[in-house]
């Protein structure tokens, strides 16, 4: 938000207007995935085993949903992930893979040479913690749950992980596939019989007799696919989990509290818990489906991913054809200035802060419950919470910054004027007569960059956030109770509260810095974004690729790519991380609906 944002990005603006090239390797949201099923109807997490799955140029061949993140196997063999990344679960290694699977906050991939590599939550022992690191055996398929299980090249099963206790040891003999639930595991014998082991709670290991063609284990429950195409589930029966719909299916995927099946007509049908819409799939044709924890994803026939359900993870929105020249992230809303000079806002609009007036603007700033724009003639116009706006100064300004307590404007002569921007105004302003080059309004304090490169801050000095160090700076950004400045050398220095690492920037050279609530982000000269501090909503896990600017907000962040498209990440509970688009979104976060009762 512009409590942590400076507005004089001359070099970057020139780059935007010149149309700098975009990193073509960066995928859209709709081009993402995680392992799940084969298009032919295998159980969740099975590898493709040489069968070319559905793909298109730049498309995906499989998808798998965790709990707040998902990953996809791309047609070039790479894995790409999106969503929560607080444990590194959405940061796959490079190289080529044949399969990928996700469970809650951990992910594993099967490499082309048959070895397994895992990343994410270390408490499962999935990413190298002894004594449960992936074995050196060669596998043909894997499945991630309370432990990781895989079918080796000799068709025997091996499981490992922190929760792979004695009861996780698979029975002897050969299997065609294996599936890992939370505390139980099931394998499909080469003759079609299902055999389960592990926790006996709720009867999840009590597989029915008879022949199956696929099996998928969830949390204390399991679903199997009969050769006839019928689905049969057993184990914990809340939410109607063990009462799947009738009819013929090509595959089935068991999630934590809901399950989904791919019908033989390529439609998806889900059942079970639907509190976040995870059991309300979109219409249309699919080739695979993956049910996770409150989240489901399907693979479209064209190789694109579509997900539905819980989006509290703030899964990043795709770039759109709307082009921006600047962007700012507020508390629960965001605003951008389009190439046509119009201001577009999205997210929380309780106080009208996301309903900008029409007309042409030169800059925009988003705060907590209000926003302000700088008109082309230098006049400041604000919208949202009207508290204090009757004292909005007139005249000509060169920049504006909206904070939580106060908002401040920079006059053309370098003078800074502040006015009440919310109910917590500190009522302080910089020393009269000081000439500034930039100003940043924070939570309870504001800071200005003097014309000589030194800093001056005013307002509440909680934890020293308003006590800047000496020396010269090129930019300043005031956050909640901390501040970050960009030195002329390109290094970043922060001061104030550091309880979440927000005042501990990474090393290296940068061209801009922006502060949010408890996290901050910076832009490198090569266009890469680096963030630090609190990352509980994914707000400090920027996407890869080349950007022209970045803005950190309350619990989300936004950036503008060099082609002018906007992309946001972090919390999206109010839609603040979903920039407006003039093209259909590849995601479908459905509204919660009653579980299906079809039989």
Here the tokens at position 221 are 């429950």
DSSP per position, 475-518 = EEEE-SSEEEEEETTS-EEEEE--TTSTT-PPSS--SEEEE-SS
Residue 65 CA: distances (Å) to CA of 169, 263, 307: 25, 19, 9
Phi-psi region at 167: left, alpha or beta (left = phi > 0; alpha = psi -120 to 50):
alpha
- Those residues whose C-beta lies under 8 Å from the C-beta of residue 14, and which sit 6 or more positions away, are none
What's the rounded Cα separation, in Å, for the pair 15 and 592? 43
Q: Estimate to the nearest angstrom the gap between the alpha carbon of 190 and the chain centroid.
A: 39
296, 254 contact by CB (below 8 A): no
Q: What letters, b where the CB count within 10 A reaches 16 and e where it falls short, cover 344-366?
A: bbbbbeebebbebeeeebbbbbb
Number of residues in the chain = 599
Within 218-265, strands assigned E span: 221-225, 231-235, 249-254, 258-263
* Strand duo 333-338 + 380-384: pairing: unpaired
Closest CA to 252 of 492, 428, 43: 43
Residue 354 CA: distances (Å) to CA of 319, 385, 396, 553, 577: 20, 11, 24, 14, 13
Here the tokens at position 213 are 């063609």
478: preceding bond cis by omega (within 30 degrees): no
447, 440 contact by CB (below 8 A): yes
The strand pairing partners of 478, in sequence order, are 483
Q: Which SS3 state, helix, strand or coil, does residue 17 take?
A: helix
DSSP summary character for residue 154: T
What's the rounded Cα separation, in Å, for the pair 58 and 459? 51
- Those residues whose C-beta lies under 8 Å from the C-beta of residue 10, and which sit 6 or more positions away, are none
DSSP per position, 359-374 = S-EEEEEE-SSEEEEE
Here the tokens at position 412 are 């053309």
What's the rounded Cα separation, in Å, for the pair 572 and 69? 14
Q: 303: how many CB neighbours lie within 10 A of its CB?
A: 23
What's the rounded Cα separation, in Å, for the pair 192 and 208? 12
For the chain, 599 residues long, give each residue's pLDDT as a single digit of tens.
544 333 333 323 323 333 333 332 222 222 222 233 322 233 322 222 222 222 223 388 999 988 878 899 998 899 988 777 777 888 899 999 999 999 888 899 999 999 999 988 754 455 544 334 688 899 999 999 888 899 999 999 998 875 545 567 889 999 999 999 888 999 999 899 999 999 888 999 999 999 999 999 999 999 999 999 999 999 999 999 999 999 999 999 999 999 999 999 999 999 999 988 899 999 999 999 999 988 899 998 878 888 888 765 444 444 456 789 999 999 999 999 999 999 999 988 888 999 999 999 999 999 988 999 999 999 999 998 865 566 788 899 999 999 988 899 999 999 999 987 555 555 578 888 999 999 999 988 999 999 999 999 999 998 999 999 999 999 999 999 999 999 999 999 999 999 999 999 999 999 999 999 999 999 999 999 999 999 999 999 999 889 999 999 999 999 999 889 899 999 888 888 888 865 433 333 333 333 334 33
446, 458 contact by CB (below 8 A): yes
Here the tokens at position 594 are 């009653």
Q: What is the pLDDT of residues 542-553, one digit of tens each?
A: 998 899 999 999
Summary mean pLDDT of the chain = 82
């Amino acid at each position: 938000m512009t409590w942590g944002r400076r507005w004089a990005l001359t070099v970057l603006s020139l780059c935007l207007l010149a149309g700098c090239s975009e990193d073509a390797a960066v995928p859209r949201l709709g081009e993402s995935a995680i392992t799940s099923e084969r298009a032919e109807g295998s159980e969740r997490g099975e590898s493709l085993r040489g069968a070319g799955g559905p793909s298109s140029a730049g498309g995906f061949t499989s998808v798998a949903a965790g709990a707040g993140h998902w990953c996809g196997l791309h047609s070039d063999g790479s894995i790409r992930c999106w969503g929560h990344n607080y444990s590194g679960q959405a940061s796959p290694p490079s190289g080529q893979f044949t399969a990928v699977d996700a469970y809650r906050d951990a992910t594993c991939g099967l490499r082309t040479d048959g070895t397994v590599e895992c990343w994410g939550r270390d408490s499962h022992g999935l990413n190298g913690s002894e004594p449960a690191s992936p074995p050196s055996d060669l596998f043909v398929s894997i499945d991630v749950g309370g432990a990781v299980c895989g079918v080796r090249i000799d068709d025997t099963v091996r499981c490992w992980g922190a929760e792979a206790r004695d009861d996780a040891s698979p029975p002897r003999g050969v299997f065609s596939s294996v599936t890992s639930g939370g505390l139980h595991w099931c394998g499909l014998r080469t003759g079609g019989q299902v055999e389960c082991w592990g926790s006996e709670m709720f009867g999840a290991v009590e597989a029915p007799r008879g022949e199956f063609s696929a099996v998928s284990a969830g949390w204390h429950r399991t679903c199997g696919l009969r050769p006839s195409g019928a689905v049969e589930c057993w184990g914990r029966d809340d939410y109607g989990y063990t009462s799947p719909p009738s009819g013929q299916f090509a595959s089935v995927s068991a999630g934590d509290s809901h399950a989904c099946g791919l019908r033989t007509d390529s439609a998806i049908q889900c059942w079970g818990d639907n509190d976040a819409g995870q059991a309300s799939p979109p219409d249309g044709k699919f080739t695979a489906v993956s049910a996770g924890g409150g989240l489901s994803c399907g693979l479209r026939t064209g190789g694109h991913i579509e997900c539905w359900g819980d989006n509290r993870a703030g899964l990043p929105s795709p770039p759109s054809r709307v082009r921006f020249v600047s962007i700012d992230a507020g508390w629960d809303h965001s605003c951008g200035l389009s190439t046509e000079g119009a201001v577009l806002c999205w997210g929380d609009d309780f106080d009208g802060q996301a309903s900008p007036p029409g007309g042409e603007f030169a800059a925009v700033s988003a705060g907590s419950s209000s926003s302000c724009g700088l008109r082309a003639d230098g006049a400041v116009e604000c919208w949202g919470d009207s508290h204090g706006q009757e004292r909005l100064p007139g005249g000509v300004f060169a920049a504006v910054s909206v904070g939580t307590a106060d908002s401040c404007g920079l006059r053309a002569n370098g003078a800074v004027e502040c006015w009440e921007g919310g109910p917590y105004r500190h009522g302080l302003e910089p020393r009269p007569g000081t000439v500034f080059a930039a100003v940043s309004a924070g939570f309870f304090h504001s800071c200005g960059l003097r014309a000589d490169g030194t800093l001056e801050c005013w307002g509440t000095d909680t934890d020293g956030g308003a006590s800047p160090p000496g020396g010269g700076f090129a930019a300043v950004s005031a956050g909640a109770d901390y501040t970050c400045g960009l030195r002329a050398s390109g290094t970043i220095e922060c001061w104030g509260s550091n309880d979440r690492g927000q005042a501990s920037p990474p090393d290296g050279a940068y061209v801009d810095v922006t502060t949010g609530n408890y996290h901050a982000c910076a832009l490198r000269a090569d266009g890469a974004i680096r963030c630090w501090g609190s990352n509980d909503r994914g707000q400090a896990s920027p996407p890869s690729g080349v950007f022209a600017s970045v803005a950190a907000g309350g619990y989300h962040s936004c950036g503008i790519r060099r082609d002018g498209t906007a992309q946001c990440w972090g919390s999206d509970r109010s839609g603040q991380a979903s920039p407006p688009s003039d093209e259909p979104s590849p995601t479908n976060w459905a509204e919660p609906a009653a579980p299906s009762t079809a039989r």
